[in-house]
Amino acid sequence: MATTLYRKYRPQRFEDIVGQPSITTTLTAELESKKIAHAYFFVGPRGVGKTTTARIFSKAVNCTSPKGVEPDNKCISCTSINEGRSLDLIEIDAASHTQVDHVRENILPAARTAPTIGKYKVFIIDEVHMLSVSAFNALLKMLEEPPAHVIFILATTEPHRVPETIISRCQRFDFRRVAPQDMVARLQHILKDEKCSAEKDVLERVARAADGSLRDAEGILGQLIGLGEKSITDKLADLVLPRSDFHTVLELVRLIAAHQTLEALQLVQKLVDEGVRISFFFRECIELLRALLLLKMGMTSALPPLSKDDLTIAQDLVGVISAATLTSMLETFMMRERDQRSTSIPQLPLELAIVELTSQSGGAPSVPVNSLHPVAPSSRPTPTTTPKNDVARSTINIIAQWPEVLAGVAASHPSVAFLLKTATPCDIVDGVLKLSFPYAFHSERILDARNKPVVEGVLSTVIGSHIRIETSVSHDSVAPVSVAANAPVDAQPVIQNADDVWQQALKSFGGTLASEGEQPSA
């Protein structure tokens, strides 16, 4: 039977461990000083080397002829551990042995007996968070008064599920996800030993798909090598790796920013038809949006590996999309990505995210959608101060188009339109329309997170450029009367006092005012 790559190339020395320099440095320093703790707590994602490090440490403390602090992997203690027959190393999968009986009948008696060859008897308990409360209590007694010859190494991916009483009696080591560049270097080393080659782009795709887990990366590479080709090309990798790329993600981000709902949905459908794994594509969208947001904040190293053309596109997108819009996109995608677990239609959460984002005004200027060519620097908007005559002209335009705005809002959100009818458009400066309301209640409701995007979206559509709103309260405010010669009467009510508000509410929602002592009718 062929050995999987991650088992075949499992590190046997501290210097072979990938991506955990601080942990290996600390452990080797303890070995040099011979200050060995009785319990260790290894925390981190799966596939980053927790169990491997525990085994190397077990060999190092029991090696009869170590090379410095490294095990020689030749003595009887090291070979018995490497071959899985050592009586001094007891590995326990807590997921399969959760009950207190296993701790009492197996761990505790074994801990009381002396080691057979080495100096220590080492217990590695993997996924320790799976132990029951009673099992933890039994283990705690051993951790409180451990025999001098016993070392416990507890490993978990979920430290929050381990009692603090256990954690406080251990030395804690937090393993991190393996960096893509470290992963690629490791994969290149394996390929050299396997007498194979692969394009660097392929290895970077493998690293992205593994999401920080070196074990997963080695597993994927094993699948690629198993295809039987000595040279692994991008095309060959498509047979194993999810077929999506950041170029497509960039295109989707641009379409969303430009409010091109139909084109964005068609792009998703094309990916589905091509067999792209939508869950992976979703993750790449989140990864790239995060990188774009960080790039917007000045972190030039945040972007994942991109081609020269895609890097130019990403930089241009950052130039025309606001940080607020990128934040909104990222939050929506993260929220909808969680919904994938509970739907039978994989692309539905992604489609919902697109519709939500493209129906909001968001704050992004329109982005070119005909191609993915870089945006010319001259076409990027630059902040300017609006001259006074332009302010007056813009204000006149908004008053003239106010009935159209009210009608647009009323078409989808009648209650919001009712609130908006009490407003007086004051002036519009630098894309900000100031609305005056007679009552604070109306002003606050319009600024609600659910209502404000609706108003700004309709305003932007009617005016033809992105408009934001600010509100103020003035009890002298009167909604405009003569806003347009052909404006419908009900689009321009005069609301001057509380009675007018009630009359307008009755007109909008129906019903009559009840006399004193009567039940209201609807």
Share of the chain above pLDDT 90, in %: 28
Shared domain check, 163 and 295: no
Shared domain check, 186 and 169: no
Each residue's pLDDT tens digit, 229-244? 888 888 888 788 766 5
Share of the chain above pLDDT 70, in %: 81
Q: In whole angstroms, what separates CA 138 from the centre of its chain?
A: 38
Shared domain check, 163 and 33: yes
The CA distance from 176 to 249, in Å, is 27
Each residue's pLDDT tens digit, 471-488? 988 755 444 433 333 334
Which H, E and C letters describe 69-95, residue by residue?
A: CECCCCCHHHHHHHCCCCCCEEEEECC
Shared domain check, 254 and 224: no
Six-digit token pair at 234? 């991008």
The CA distance from 214 to 56, in Å, is 17
Shared domain check, 140 and 104: yes
Query: What letter does residue 343 receive in the DSSP assignment?
Result: -
Domains: count for the chain: 4
pLDDT of residue 120: 93
Shared domain check, 30 and 134: yes
Asked if residue 415 is part of any domain, the answer here is: yes
pLDDT at 496 exceeding the cut of 50: no
Q: What angle do CA 434, 435, 439 make, to 5 degrees?
A: 140
Of 220 and 522, the structure prediction assigns the larger pLDDT to 220
The CA distance from 453 to 497, in Å, is 27
Which CATH number fits the domain that encloses residue 465? 3.30.300.180
Asked if residue 13 is part of any domain, the answer here is: yes
Asked if residue 420 is part of any domain, the answer here is: yes
Query: What letter does residue 491 receive in the DSSP assignment?
Result: G
pLDDT at 181 exceeding the cut of 60: yes
Asked if residue 151 is part of any domain, the answer here is: yes
Q: Which residue carries 């307008």 as its tokens?
A: 504
pLDDT at 367 exceeding the cut of 60: no
Shared domain check, 254 and 206: no
Looking at 38-47, 214-223, 355-364, 429-438, which range is the least confident one?
355-364
Asked if residue 265 is part of any domain, the answer here is: yes
Residue 179's beta-bridge partner residues? none
* Average pLDDT over the chain, rounded to an integer: 80
The CA distance from 351 to 248, in Å, is 15
Residue 433's beta-bridge partner residues? 428, 469
Looking at 129-133, 137-141, 154-158, 306-310, which range is the least confident one?
306-310
Domain boundary (174, 189, 206) is at: 174
pLDDT of residue 476: 52
pLDDT of residue 227: 85
The CA distance from 320 to 457, in Å, is 18
Six-digit token pair at 287? 């990864």
Domain boundary (354, 375, 396) is at: 375
DSSP H helical ranges for 92-177: 100-102, 108-112, 133-144, 164-167
Q: Which residue carries 């782009």 as its tokens?
A: 201
Asked if residue 263 is part of any domain, the answer here is: yes
pLDDT of residue 386: 44
Q: Are 206 and 218 in contact (CB under 8 A)?
A: no
pTM of the model: 0.59
Asked if residue 381 is part of any domain, the answer here is: no
Shared domain check, 282 and 345: yes
Q: How far is CA 217 from CA 118, 225, 275, 481, in A?
A: 34, 12, 22, 68
Q: How far is CA 45 from CA 308, 324, 338, 501, in A?
A: 32, 31, 19, 59
Shared domain check, 147 and 32: yes
Mean predicted confidence (pLDDT) in 117-130: 91
List of long-range contacts for 192-196, beta carbons under 8 Å, 24+ apart:
193/9, 194/225, 195/230, 196/225, 196/229, 196/230, 196/231, 196/232
Of 190 and 304, the structure prediction assigns the larger pLDDT to 190
Domain boundary (237, 254, 271) is at: 237
DSSP result, 169-182: TSEEEE--PPPHHH
> Where in the sequence is the domain holding 356, given as residue range(s)?
246-375
Mean predicted confidence (pLDDT) in 433-461: 85
Mean predicted confidence (pLDDT) in 58-72: 92
Which CATH number fits the domain that encloses residue 62? 3.40.50.300
Best CA proximity match to 206, nearest among 228, 190, 230 = 190
Which CATH number fits the domain that encloses residue 209? 1.10.8
Helix or strand (DSSP H, E) at 269: helix 261-273
**304 phi, psi to nearest 5 deg:** -70, 175
pLDDT at 306 exceeding the cut of 80: no
Each residue's pLDDT tens digit, 248-303? 899 999 899 888 899 999 999 998 888 788 888 888 899 889 989 988 888 877 77
Strand bridging mode 150-156 / 231-232:
unpaired
pLDDT of residue 462: 79
Shared domain check, 429 and 325: no
Asked if residue 126 is part of any domain, the answer here is: yes
Shared domain check, 473 and 340: no
Shared domain check, 156 and 35: yes
pLDDT of residue 514: 54
Best CA proximity match to 297, nearest among 330, 322, 332, 328 = 322
Each residue's pLDDT tens digit, 389-407? 454 455 566 777 788 888 8
